[in-house]
Chains A and B, each alone.
Chain A
Amino acid sequence: MSTLLRTPVSTAQKSCPDRVELILSQLDRLPAPSPVAAKLLAVSASDDASLAAIVEILRTDAALSAGVIRLANRADLGARAAKMDIHKSVTLLGLRRVRNAVIAQQFFRILDAAPGSPQAQLCKQLWKHNLAVGCACEAIVEISRASQQAIGLSGGEAFICGLLHDVGKLALAVSLPKSYARVVELCKREQFSTCDAEQDILGVDHTVAGKRLATRWGLPSAIVECVWFHHQGFGMLPASAKFADAIHVVQLADAAMNRAGFAVPQAGVTADLDAACRALDVDPNKLDSMIDKAIQRLRPLCELVEIDLDLDPAAQIVRLTEANRELGRLNSMLMSSERIYSRRVRCLDAVAAFTGTESEGLMVGDVCTAAARAFEAMGASTAAAFVRRVGAEHVFLGDTKHCDILKTSDIIGLTPNHRDESNSCVSANMSQQQNAIGPAPTWAKVMRMKMVDSDATHALWLVASFYSGIECGLIFDMSESMVSELNAGIADLRMLMTMFIRSALAAFEHSDTQRLAEDALDMNRRLHAAQTELLRIRSLDMIAQMAAGAAHEVNNPLSVISGRAQMMHAKTADEDMQRGLDIIIEQSNRASGIVTELMRFSKPEPPTPLTLSLKKTLESICQRWCASMNQSASIINIATSDPGVAVFADPTHLREIMEAILTNAMEAAADKPDIQVNSHTRNSDDTVRIAVTDRGRGMTLETLEHALDPFYSNRPAGRGRGLGLSRAYRLVESNGGRLWIESKVNIGTTVSFELPVRAPAASPRN
C-alpha cells in the first residue's frame, strides 16, 4: 500500500485507467444544459430560424429575457428611452446575435467557476477563447459564403461548433481546478501543447473529456466531432469524421484567434494557419478582416456573460503602431540628443584639455597652441589659433609646426580690410567692437574663408572673437557637416572661444606683468648704479663741504698763527727766534695747502679743453715734472706711435693728471725710477691712449682695488694724502675719457687713460 502511494503520480495517472474513469465520471456530474439551451440548439441548425420561435423560447426563461433586454438597451445606448420588450430586443439585436448570446450564456452557466475561486480567472479566459473562436467560425463561414465557397455549414452551426470546441478544457478546469492549474503552468513553463500537458498531468486531454461531455449532453454530431477532432492534423482526420468542414473551420478559427491573442492556456505550439487556410481554400489575406469581424461580434457576447474583453487585438495593433511611431520619434530625438551630447562631451573634453594646460606662466603663444589643440579635439583635422591686440601689427601664434595652414603673413592679411567679402559680418563686428568692452566676448559664427597662399587657395574655416581690446581667432580644416553641427551647437563653440579669449587675456596680463617685472628689475639695476654714483658724488660732495668748512675754520687759526709769527718776526732781531718763526709760517702755509688740495679734489674746476699736440705736451709736462722733482729727465722714456696726433683736453688738467701718475710711478720705484710713457691712437673711436708704466713694486690686489679711492695711500702713514690717482681719475673723466690701472706685484704698474683726439662733433651750441 505504501509502495503504491510512493509511485510517481504521473506514471500512476497514465497507467491507471481507473483515474481516467474517475475524472470522466467527475465530468458526468456536471449539470446538463437547460431545456432552453437544448431548444435553442435545435432551432439554430439553420440560419433562417424564425424570430417568433426564438422569442417563444426566450420567454420561457425570465432571467434570459431580462438579459436579452439589458443587452438590447445597452446596444441602443439610450437612443430611445422607451422600454424594450423581448420581441423588440430580439428585433433590435438581430436574431443571430440573440441566439448566439443565449446559447453562450446557457453553457456559461453550467461551466463556470464560483466567483472569487482560484480557477475563476482561468474559466473566464477559456470562455473568452471559446467565444472568440465561435465568432471567428461564424465569420469564416460568412466570408466563404460571400466568395461562393461551398462549406456545408451554417453560420449558426459554425458558431456553436466554435463555442463548444474547447468544452473539454472548461469541464476539466471546473471539475479538477488544481490539476488543471498545473496543466496551465506546465504549458507556460515547458511550452507543451495543451493536449500533451493534459495527458501528462491528468492522463486524459480535453478533446476526450469534451467528447464525453458533448455525447452525454446529446449535442449534435457536428459539435461532438469538432470537440473531439479539432486538434487532429490536417488530412489526419479519421475516416469516421463526417463533418470535416466544420472541424476545419474550427481549426482555422482556433489558429487565427490564438494568433490574435486568445490562446488559453498560452502555449508555444500553435496550429499551422496557412495549412488550415489551404484546407478550407480560404484566402489568407482575408483572415485579418475575418478576425476584425469576429472581435466586433465578440464584444456584446462578452458583455452578456460578463467577461472583460481586455484583449482587443485590433486596438492593440493600432496602439502598437502608434507606440512604434512614438518609439521611432523618441529614438530619433535620442539620436539627435546623443549627437549633441557627444559633441558637447567633445567640446567639454577640449575645454578640459584646454584648461588643463593652463597654468600660471602660460604665454600668449602657449594659449594659442592649447586652443588649436582643443579645436582639433573637437574634430578639426588641423587648427591654428592666433591672438592679437586690436589695432596692433604683431600677431601671436601658437606652435604651428604640424599645422602648415597658417603663416604669420596670412594672419596679418586677416585685418578687417583683407577678409573674404563673404565674411562681411565678421568685419563689421570687428570694426564696431574694436573699442568696446562688453560683459561677454563678441563672437562670430564659423565662417568659410579663403586664404591665398603662394601655391594654392585653401578653403578653410574661421571663427573669431573680440573682447576687451583683443581678438582671438581659430582657422581650421573641418568637414562641412561638422561645421554646421558646430554652428548649431553654438553655445559649445562660444564656451571654447570664451575660454580661449579669457586665457589669452590672462596671458597678456601675465606677459605685461612679466615685462613690468623686467622693467622694474632694469630700473632697479639702473637705480642701483645711480645710487652708487650718487653715493660717490655725495661722498665727494661731503668731502667738498667738509673741505670748504675746514678751509674756513682751519685757515682762520692758520692766518692768526702765520700772521702773529710774521709780526713777531718783524719785531725781533733774534735769529733763532726768526728761524723758528719761519718754520711756523711755513708749516702754517703747508697746512693750508693740504686743505686747499682737498677742496680742489672734491670740487675740480670745469675743464677748458683745447686741441693740443700730444707729443709736445707730454714732453713738456715730463720735463717740467722732472725738474720740479729734481729728477733726471732720462728716467722717463716717451714713445708715441703717431707723432702728429693731437689730444683734446684741458692743458692744466692734462698736466695734473700726468703729474699725479708720474709721481705715483716714481714713488713705486723710489730707488731707480724707470718710467715708460706710451701713447697709442685708436682710430675706431677717435681716442688716444696714454699708458705710464713703472717697474716698481706693483700693487697687491687689495691695493689695486682701492687705488682710485680718495685718501687711499699705499705709502707709509703721513707720507701722502692719497689723492693723486683719485684726482687724476676724476680729471680724466671730466675731460671725457677714462682711466684704469693694471699692476703686478714686483713687476710694475701701468696706469692707462684715454682722452678724445678731437672735440666732439657739432654740439647744438656750435
Chain B
Amino acid sequence: MADAKMSDQRQKKVFTTGEVAQICKVSQQTVIRCFDNGRLQGFRVPGSKFRRIPRESLIAFMKHNQIPMDHLDTGRRRVLVVDDDEAIVDMFTDLLERDGRFEVKTASSGYDAGILTEQFRPDVLLLDYKLPDINGNVVCRTIRSNPNYRHMHIVIISGVADPDEIAELRAAGADDFIRKPFDINMVIGRIAELMRVA
C-alpha cells in the first residue's frame, strides 16, 4: 500500500503540504513555515488557502536541504534513449536495464523524444547525433534553454567523430560524447559518473 502510494507520488506533479511532509520526513508545520517564508516554492489553490507545491520546486527544495529523495522516486536513474536505429535502441535498453540502476524509455525521433522528455523527465538523455527529424545541436540547445531541465544530462552518441562537430555539440550543452562502436562498460561508467556528479 505504501509502495503503491509512493509509486503514485513518483507520477505526481503537484504535492500537498502533507505529502511533502511525508516525503521529506518533517512535520507539516515545518513545511507550511518553509512555504510561507518562501524557501519552498509553490502556489495556493485559487479560491482557497490550500498550498500546493510543484514537483520541480520540491526536488529543488530537497536538493538544497540535502534531503534524501528515496521517498520521492524509485532511486533508479531515468535514461531516455533516442535513436532511429531500432537495433541500437534495443541494445541500449537491454544493456541499461540489465545493469538494474536505470529506468529506460526509448524514442526513435526528435518529436517522440520531446514528448517523453516532458513526461518521463529523464536524468540522462542518450541522443543519437543524427536523428531523422532534428539535429543533436538543436536538441541540446532546446533542453538547455529550459530551466526545468537544468539537471538533465545529455550524452551524444554518434558514428561520426568530427572534432569540430564534437566541439559544437559541447558548446550547445552536451555533457559527453561517445563514438560508435563503443565499449559497453565505458558507456555505463560514463553515465554513472555523470549521475554521481549531479
The answer to whether B184 touches A563 (Cβ under 8 A) is: yes
Provide the bound-state CA to CA distance between A556 and B130, in Å.
11
B43 close to chain A: CB less than 8 A? no
Would B182 and A562 count as touching, CB distance under 8 A?
Answer: yes
Main secondary structure, interface of A, reads: helix
Report B72 CB to chain A, min CB distance, Å.
32
Within 8 A of B (CB), among A580-614: 588-589, 592, 596, 599, 603, 605
Given A558-B181, A559-B159, A567–B98 Cβ distance below 8 Å?
A: yes
Of all chain B residues, which has the CB nearest A566? B184
Best-surrounded residue of A560, A564, A589, A592 (most CB of chain B within 10 A): A560
**Interface residue A551 (Cβ < 8 Å from any Cβ of B):** yes
Q: Which residues of B contact A552 (CB under 8 A)?
A: 130, 158-160
In whole angstroms, how far apart are the Cα atoms of A373 and B38 in the complex?
111
> What are the interface flags for B139-169 relative to A under an 8 Å C-beta threshold, 1 for contact and 0 otherwise?
0000000000000000000111111000000
A-side interface residues toward B, CB under 8 Å?
A: 548, 551-564, 566-567, 570, 588-589, 592, 596, 599, 603, 605
Note all chain A residues with C-beta closer than 8 A to B159. 551-556, 559
Q: Which residues of B in the span 67-104 have a Cβ within 8 Å of any Cβ on A? A: 85, 87-88, 91, 94-95, 98
Known: A561-B181, A588-B181. A567 touches B94 (CB 8 A): yes
Distance in angstroms between the alpha carbons of A555 and B180 in the assembled complex: 6
Question: If A558-B180, A559-B180 touch, does A596 touch B161 (CB 8 Å cutoff)?
Answer: yes
- From A555, which residue of chain B is reached at the shortest CB distance? B159
Cα A562 to Cα B159 in complex, Å, equals 13
Closest to A552 in B: B159
Expressed in whole angstroms, the minimum distance between the Cβ of A253 and any Cβ of chain B is 141
Contact status A567-B160, CB under 8 Å: no
Chain A residue at minimum C-beta to C-beta distance from B94: A567
| Bound CA span A555–B94, Å | 19
Q: How many angstroms between the C-alpha atoms of A599 and B94 in the bound complex?
A: 31
Bound-state Cα–Cα, A562 to B180, Å: 9
B184 nearest in chain A by CB position: A566
For the complex formed, measure the closest distance between the CB of A658 and the CB atoms of chain B, giving whole angstroms. 23
Does B183 make an interface contact (CB < 8 A)? yes
Q: Find the residue from B87, B98, B181, B183 having the highest chain A CB count within 10 A.
A: B181
The interface residues of chain B lying within 8 Å CB-to-CB of A599 are 160, 162
Q: List 10 A-B contacts (CB under 8 A).
A: A548-B160, A551-B160, A555-B180, A556-B180, A557-B87, A559-B180, A559-B182, A560-B85, A560-B87, A599-B162
Question: Hey, what's the 0/1 contact readout for B95-123 against A, CB within 8 Å counting as 1?
Answer: 10010000000000000000000000000
Cβ-closest chain A residue relative to B98: A567
A567 touches B95 (CB 8 A): yes
| Other 12 A-B pairs with CB < 8 A, given A556-B180, A563-B91 | A552-B130, A552-B158, A554-B159, A556-B87, A557-B87, A559-B91, A560-B87, A563-B181, A566-B184, A567-B184, A570-B184, A596-B161
State the Cβ distance, A687 to closest chain B Cβ, in Å.
Answer: 30
A556 and B88 CA atoms in complex are apart in Å by 7
Which 9 residue pairs are nearest across A and B when measured between Cβ atoms? A555-B159, A559-B180, A562-B181, A559-B181, A555-B180, A560-B87, A552-B159, A566-B184, A558-B181
Question: Please, which residues of chain A bring their CB within 8 A of the CB of B163?
Answer: 605
Smallest beta-carbon distance B97→chain A, Å: 11
- The answer to whether B181 and A555 have CB atoms under 8 Å apart is yes
Which chain B residues have a beta carbon within 8 Å of chain A's beta carbons?
85, 87-88, 91, 94-95, 98, 130, 158-163, 179-185
Q: Specify which chain A residues have a CB less than 8 angstroms from the CB of B87 in the assembled complex.
A: 556-557, 560
Min Cβ gap B166→A in Å is: 13
Contact B95 A563 (CB under 8 A): yes
Give the docked Cα–Cα distance between A599 and B165 (Å).
14
Q: What is the CA–CA distance of A421 and B46 in the complex, to the nearest angstrom?
A: 109
Bound: A534/B48 CA distance, A: 74
Chain A positions within 8 Å of B181 at CB level = 555, 558-559, 561-563, 588-589, 592
Which of chain B's residues have a CB closer than 8 A to the CB of A563?
A: 91, 95, 181-182, 184
CA distance A1 to B70 in the complex (A): 193
Specify which chain B residues have a CB less than 8 angstroms from the CB of A558 in the assembled complex. 180-181
Q: List the A residue with the shortest CB-CB distance to B128.
A: A556
Q: How far does the Cβ of B85 sit from chain A's closest Cβ, in whole Å?
A: 5
B160: nearest chain-A partner, CB-CB: A551
B91 touching A560, Cβ below 8 Å: yes
Residue numbers in A under 8 Å from B91 (CB-CB) = 559-560, 563-564, 567
Per the bound structure, the CA–CA distance linking A503 and B160 in Å amounts to 69
Q: How far is the CA of A553 from the CA of B185 in the complex (A)?
A: 23
Q: Which residues of B contact A559 (CB under 8 A)?
A: 88, 91, 159, 180-182
In whole angstroms, what is the CA distance A596 to B183 when docked? Answer: 17
Min CB distance, A98 to chain B, in Å?
149
CA–CA, A566 and B181, complex, Å: 11
- The residues of A that contact B185 with a CB separation of less than 8 Å are 566
CA distance A645 to B185 in the complex (A): 48
Q: How far is the CA of A555 from the CA of B87 in the complex (A)?
A: 12
| A331 nearest CB across to chain B (Å) | 104
Question: How far, in angstroms, from A617 to B94 measured CA to CA in the complex?
Answer: 49
Residues of A within 8 Å of B95, CB to CB, are 563, 567
Q: Which residues of A contact B160 (CB under 8 A)?
A: 548, 551-552, 555, 599
- Return A543 CB to nearest CB of chain B, in Å: 15
Which residues of chain A have C-beta atoms less than 8 A from B180's C-beta?
Answer: 555-556, 558-559, 592
CA A566 – CA B182 in complex, angstroms?
10
Contacts of A551 in B (CB 8 A): 159-160
A564 surroundings in chain B (CB, below 8 A): 91
| B161 contacts across to A, CB distance below 8 A | 596
Nearest CB in chain B: distance from A250 CB, A: 146
Among A556, A567, A570, A588, point to the contact of B85 (Cβ < 8 A). A556
Residues of B within 8 A of A592 (CB): 180-181
**A567 neighbours in B (Cβ, 8 Å):** 91, 94-95, 98, 184
Measured CB to CB, the nearest residue on chain B to A561 is B181
Measured between alpha carbons, how far is A559 from B87 in the docked complex, in Å?
9
Chain B residue nearest to A563 in the complex (CB): B91
Q: Name the residue of chain B whose CB is nearest to the CB of A569.
A: B184
Please give me the residue from chain A that is nearest to B161 by CB atom.
Answer: A596
CB distance from B25 to the nearest CB of A (A): 39
Closest CB-CB distance, B91 to chain A, in whole Å? Answer: 5
Distance A588 CA – B95 CA, assembled complex (angstroms): 18
Give the complex CA separation of A552 and B130 in angstroms: 9
A108 CA to B185 CA in the complex, in Å?
170
Q: How far is the CA of A566 from the CA of B188 in the complex (A)?
A: 13
Report the nearest B residue to A548, measured CB to CB: B160
Minimum Cβ distance to chain A for residue B79 (Å) = 15
Bound complex: CA A596 to CA B158 (Å): 12
